[in-house]
Structure 1
């Protein structure tokens, strides 16, 4: 009870009342972060294109992305330990760099998050179809199954925080079976290639005009998708017990556990493939599924599909959870149209209107699945948009740190001078990776796609930024904010 009162008192210092139910333990927050990053979803987003552009050496691009994003995760852990408030990046930027930039960051973040929910539902729909039928679904069936994903994710979230925790625990178990256990079996019993193959491209550079460097850079751009979502833990800070310590710890633990699982799975699949050159040529569309079912036997097909499907459902549920909180935080500050309605908290102490609104928006995005090229554009932006947000937050943190507006050593995560070094390296990494992801590549665009697909990340991000900027200039949402508490006051643990 004393901890709960202390958490509510600290929240009041930020200008908010305790409206959400503070029942999430450190483990539950870890589960949200784990399910959102999701090693199964991450590996499937990377492995096929990784082989096509870099061959078996694709694994080193994943290692590079893991190390780069680890720097970002540490900066996020520092920020979350001092600002334990629902809203995450929006709250941090508006308090350290001003409400206008905070609004723009929050706006792009919400758009990227909704795109990621649509993407997971769209990709997961294929596995739902595979559970009951062979082959690939039609475009219309694919979209309808994606709607099923969104409906399940929304339904679970509307039941309250406790059911979400139970479903995410099931997701962690499924991820453990599908990723860790299967990978260890493949490494021990199904080993068709030596470790030397990890340094071979098997001619994959042909897909990039014969340049190994270009192929690895393309693979690195794709690998960035595998390490998104660790910031989901920051969106439930007001529902977490002792958030100054629990949230950053859960963030880092979830990130490290998922990242190491992705690397383990990638290694196991690469060494287990009997004909890795087929994955390079594109003749093998699903290296993971092939490696598992050939290694374990045909009996494993449906069980493997089932555990992967559970992992996708857990990921969708977790994304829905944190997006709903992000919209609630925005609306609570009267930063959106219909803010009063969106900020409504129901009897179960959850922002149910925000949850419903985000599910509807993600469902509208699924309609793009009727056109494969449009769906690919949405998926590309989902990755690129987040990296622009990462970069903005890292730069804001660095500037605030150097100007004295933010003193990280007052938080629960204290890194001293090491924190400054990590922050600088995070900015450098994100400058590189944001440009790398946004770089127009015809080879990543759908076959027969127009120049719009090639420039998808830049075009969609620019359009959203200009739309957001126009809203800031005309509607002036930042003027509706209550004055922020003094930074020095709110960063004291």
Structure 2
């Protein structure tokens, strides 16, 4: 069957859920993988947050990486089952409302929107970690000392947001191409960086078994739980392939695979990058690895030299750009999907798709503007912005739980996902007899990590002792997110009715009755 015929069949499939094909199907298998991989973006987040993991756990923090990978893989496998059966934009919202009901789904989608907007800001601001090290010309404001570093970070971030907003608004095809090229460059960059660091190693791979920071007097559990936040920050966003389901060729077949593949590739690549960095670091005890101005960029430039180091940093800057682009794409599709169901304030404007560009223009602009507003916080209070960066990941974990938890409840009640065939006539992705066990791991891990992320610890959220409001930012953010969400929901509740289709009811059986 030709691509055009498959796309027509996918449009008919989408109509079965009660939606008309408005977005343009321009995303292939590799671009779908790129959407998830570039959101995770190990070059962006590992470079940005390496110092956090090492600062709390030393060399032993490496072992938090495989633990988080296994936990998130369980989540990704659950998502893959749902992606095969619900190839609809706004994946978390669409899945959660079918699993837990209309109100449950609305709050999952709302939480995801807030998390994506803050994540977008934290991705864009990462340019400040890299570009001034490439050239001082990128330090446009001041010399990086005092508040000039924070101000310059906001300027670079806003410039990047303007670029990604324009790309997302005017062409999904160009966005997909940029994403695919960027991911290719990132994959090559990670492989090259690992090889170069291995070739300049000062110690063997056994370094991950050594203990450079922790001791019996400090304890091990609490520092390692805090160092695990670094891996938790990195390995999110693999579900972005699901956000582009309505723009993907053969989504029932492609999306489940690319969700899982994006996480696995990111996990393996990130593990090698961490080992290589620990092996090549000039020193494990001089404080540079745990410094916000040091970390992985310090290892790169000090070990590989200025020229090679800067070339690789340029690749990192490109990865940051593509990561920002992917996060904004996902956020725009979530807003569009919820607005299309008339559940957001100003839904009429937010759901409009440009007849010329086949993209939801206003839904694309909103996360860009929201992220820019978040960036402004960094000018006067960098501690508050760093706190927000941590909180956004907690919100993502809560949104994921709002999918996996009702899915587990359904399984325990005997509900089953319907069998069926994808666009190629093959059976839909299924976990089979392993479904319950994997679902239990997904919920258990997600709950524990959400609590770990949300604990109001001063060492994590307020190391500079800025104020109580930063210390308790996780709790304040949860209250604000759901409080404002309740107001927004109340405004639209008269128009919000469950639109779960007859087909979806048949798929999940008694699940939708819960």
Which residues of structure 2 form unaligned runs of 5+?
421-426, 510-514
For residue 352 of structure 1, what is the aligned residue in structure 2? 361
| 1:441 equivalenced with 2:454 (yes/no) | no
For residues 290 and 378 of structure 1, what CA distance do their matches in structure 2 show? 25
Post-superposition Cα deviations, 1:71-92, rounded to whole Å, max 9, x if no partner, equal: 1111111111111011101001
For residue 182 of structure 1, what is the aligned residue in structure 2? 193
Which residues of structure 1 form unaligned runs of 5+?
none
Contact 2:242 2:255 in 1 (8 A): yes
For residues 53 and 115 of structure 1, what CA distance do their matches in structure 2 show? 24
For residues 431 and 418 of structure 2, what CA distance do their matches in structure 1 show? 8
For residue 375 of structure 2, what is the aligned residue in structure 1? 366
For residues 452 and 501 of structure 2, what CA distance do their matches in structure 1 show? 36
Post-superposition Cα deviations, 1:160-217, rounded to whole Å, max 9, x if no partner, equal: 1111122112211331243221112211x111112332122313459xx711221111
Aligned pairs for 1:255-274 within 5 A: 255-274=263-282
Of 148, 157, 161, 1:146 maps to: 157
Aligned pairs for 1:285-324 within 5 A: 285-324=293-332
For residue 178 of structure 2, what is the aligned residue in structure 1? 167
TM-score by length of 1: 0.94
For residues 19 and 414 of structure 1, what CA distance do their matches in structure 2 show? 29
Of 234, 239, 250, 1:242 maps to: 250
Aligned pairs for 1:94-173 within 5 A: 94-133=97-136, 136=144, 137-173=148-184
Q: Larger % of helix: which?
A: 1
Quote the offset at 1:488 in angstroms: 4.4
Of 230, 245, 262, 1:222 maps to: 230
For residue 390 of structure 1, what is the aligned residue in structure 2? 400
Farther-moved stretch of structure 1 (319-328 vs 162-171):
162-171
For residues 5 and 197 of structure 1, what CA distance do their matches in structure 2 show? 54
For residues 491 and 176 of structure 2, what CA distance do their matches in structure 1 show? 41
Post-superposition Cα deviations, 1:374-420, rounded to whole Å, max 9, x if no partner, equal: 21121011111111112221101111233355425447112211011
For residue 199 of structure 1, what is the aligned residue in structure 2? 209
| 1:79 equivalenced with 2:82 (yes/no) | yes
| Local SS of the residue matching 1:412 | coil
For residues 172 and 450 of structure 1, what CA distance do their matches in structure 2 show? 40
Root mean square deviation of aligned Cα: 2.1
Contact 1:33 1:232 in 2 (8 A): yes
Contact 1:90 1:106 in 2 (8 A): yes
Change (3 A) 1:283 1:401: closer
Q: How many residues align?
A: 489
Quote the offset at 1:483 in angstroms: 5.3
